[in-house]
């Protein structure tokens, strides 16, 4: 009797120690609120990792830039002080310059085109470029089609942008293009944007409807124009060493979990895009839904000539013509 109790006690203790020791917790972060297309991406990923590794790996999500802005989080993942992050492509060119081409305005016709490119050979080739920079890029996700907001005036065409002071992402392609549209550009990390808009440090900013809603920019911005001027990819990034340490089966589990995260992420972007204008109008924003995009494209001709030189016309055309 005593012995069997001891055996049970011991085996319970050993079992407990083994499961405690076998569980690894990893952190993942986003720069915006949990109730968003990015929140659902990392929450789904966390749940799927735990499920697919039978609880041996636990992913702890952090929201609203509580671990830092996107650039800081990417740096932390590269260094390995943080295992994972989900980021927009904004600061990515500072780490993997080859991705810059994806940030060219009016490159993608719509989300479907962008998703097809990112899921196809072009996007997959680009994911592999992260390997030599200390990252395992698990999957392309999505931030969405970006639109412009400001506190000064309705933007009906590119001529209305002249002299507007706008926060941009810390992205050289965006900065060059927006300068070409006459905007006074102020690159800034995302966690500072709300306050900058509130205090009038900048007049405006540009982001997908999903981000505008999740960040309550309607409280500090009056005018929204659906410029759809650039597609904003998102990406699941993991520290390369942390990924390499996983067993083959666990690697697959992380990759599959990221795919599930992307599905939930894109579905939420579609939902947000469908209801965004109505919701933001009901919160008091004045929305211009239809602008002549060809006027923006025409104004960007000199900048686009620069981009063709920099990235190669054929590479840009390969993306534009991808079906």
CA 7 – CA 230 distance, rounded (Å): 65
Is residue 270 within 8 A of residue 204, CB to CB? The reply is no
Which residue number, 36 or 304, has a Cβ lying nearer to ligand EAX? 36
Check binding of 233 to ligand EAX (CB under 6 A).
Answer: no
* 42 touches 28 (CB < 8 A): yes
Of residues 68, 90, 93, 228, which one binds ligand EAX by CB under 6 A?
Answer: 90
The answer to the question of residue 85 lying near ligand EAX (CB under 6 A) is no
Least Å distance between CB 150 and ligand EAX?
15
* Of the residues 99, 150, 232, 239, which one makes contact with ligand EAX according to CB under 6 A: 232
In angstroms, what is the minimal distance from the CB of 280 to ligand EAX? 16
Asked whether position 82 contacts ligand EAX by CB under 6 A, the answer is no
Binding status of residue 88 toward ligand EAX by CB under 6 A: yes
User: Least distance (Å) from ligand EAX to the CB of residue 85?
Assistant: 10
Say whether residue 166 binds ligand EAX (CB under 6 A).
no
Nearer to ligand EAX, 76 or 253 (CB): 76
Q: Does 140 bind ligand EAX (CB under 6 A)?
A: no
Which C-beta is closer to ligand EAX: that of 53 or that of 78? 78
Beta carbons within 8 Å of 104's beta carbon, 6+ residues apart: 173, 177, 230, 304, 307, 311, 316
Quick one: tokens of 20?
A: 């405690």
Spatial separation of the C-alpha atoms in residues 211 and 103, rounded to whole Å: 17
Triad 246, 251, 256: Cα angle to 5°? 150
Give residues in contact with ligand EAX (CB under 6 A): 31-32, 70, 88, 90, 143, 169, 190, 207, 211, 232
């Amino acid at each position: 009797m005593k012995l069997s109790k001891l055996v049970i006690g011991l085996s319970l203790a050993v079992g407990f120690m083994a499961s405690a020791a076998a569980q690894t917790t990893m952190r993942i972060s986003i720069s915006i609120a949990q109730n968003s297309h990015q929140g659902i991406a990392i929450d789904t990923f966390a749940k799927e990792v735990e499920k697919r590794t039978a609880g041996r790996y636990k992913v702890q999500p952090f929201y609203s830039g509580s671990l830092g802005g996107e650039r800081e989080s990417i740096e932390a993942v590269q260094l390995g002080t943080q295992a994972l992050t989900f980021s927009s492509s904004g600061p990515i060119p500072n780490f993997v310059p080859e991705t810059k081409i994806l940030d060219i305005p009016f490159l993608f016709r719509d989300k479907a085109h962008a998703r097809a490119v990112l899921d196809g050979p072009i996007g997959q080739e680009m994911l592999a470029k992260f390997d030599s920079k200390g990252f395992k890029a698990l999957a392309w996700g999505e931030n969405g089609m970006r639109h412009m907001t400001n506190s000064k005036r309705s933007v009906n065409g590119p001529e209305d942008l002249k002299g507007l002071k706008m926060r941009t992402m810390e992205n050289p392609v965006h900065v060059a293009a927006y300068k070409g549209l006459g905007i006074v550009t102020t690159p800034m990390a995302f966690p500072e944007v709300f306050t900058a808009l509130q205090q009038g440090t900048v007049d405006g900013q540009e982001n997908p409807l999903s981000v505008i809603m999740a960040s309550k920019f309607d409280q500090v911005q009056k005018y929204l124009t659906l410029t759809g001027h650039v597609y904003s990819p998102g990406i699941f990034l993991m520290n390369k060493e942390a990924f390499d340490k996983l067993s083959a089966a666990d690697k697959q589990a992380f990759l599959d979990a990221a795919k599930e995260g992307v599905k939930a992420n894109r579905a939420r972007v579609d939902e947000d895009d469908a209801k965004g204008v109505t919701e933001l109008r009901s919160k008091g924003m004045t929305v211009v839904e239809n602008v002549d995009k060809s006027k923006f494209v025409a104004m960007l001709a000199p900048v686009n000539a620069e981009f063709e030189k920099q990235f190669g016309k054929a590479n840009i055309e390969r993306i534009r013509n991808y079906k």
